[in-house]
Structure 1
């Protein structure tokens, strides 16, 4: 969290303690500060080629069918990605990036 945001939140809490700012306003500021901090921590989505997707799948010993299941996609989609016939969408890329960074265990409940 940036220093400016921390300072703003501290001032809001001081005003709240003095009765000048409502609890709801302070909560709204806290939520905005938390959302900003989360946005700064979220990694950019990296595009992946078919070769990279296949290498990722092989690295974790996943079949196309199992990877498709993890992504909520069809096996045919995974196959087409790996052959560079189509590109994965934003949400699928986010999941592929997460898989690459954290491994398949992140999807187990």
Structure 2
């Protein structure tokens, strides 16, 4: 996870502990997530291809790591579809930290 600052990281860490203890509701935790975490910016097909090639992976191997189909990776790279949600977060993590971050 990437936080807006170290202060937001500390706040979020505390909130997660309180959430796990049942003191903070799921709704409140989502509010903390939105306020503390940076948003995953949309990626272009060229950026996704560059991330994959930087990791020296085929589309099929990259798809396995991201838990999506090979055709999905192909569609992203050609700009037919755009990743969102968990897939976008994983792509952003690989972009920033490398494929080892999700293995």
Q: Deviations over 1:58-80 (max 9, x none)?
A: 11111101110111100000001
SS state of the match for residue 50, structure 2?
A: helix
Corresponding residue for 2:64?
69
Q: Unmatched 5+ residue regions in structure 1?
A: 6-26
Tell me the number of residue pairs that the alignment of Structure 1 and Structure 2 aligns. 82
**CA–CA distance in structure 2, aligned partners of residues 41 and 100 of structure 1:** 20
Corresponding residue for 2:54?
59
Larger Rg: 1
Scaled by the length of structure 2, the TM-score of the pair is 0.66
Moved over 3 A (4+): 35-41
Q: Does 2:86 correspond to 1:91? A: yes
Scaled by the length of structure 1, the TM-score of the pair is 0.63
Q: Unmatched 5+ residue regions in structure 2?
A: 1-6, 12-21
Tell which has more relative contact order, 1 or 2 (C-alpha 8 A, sep 6+).
Answer: 2
How far the C-alpha of 1:39 sits from its partner, in A, is: 5.5
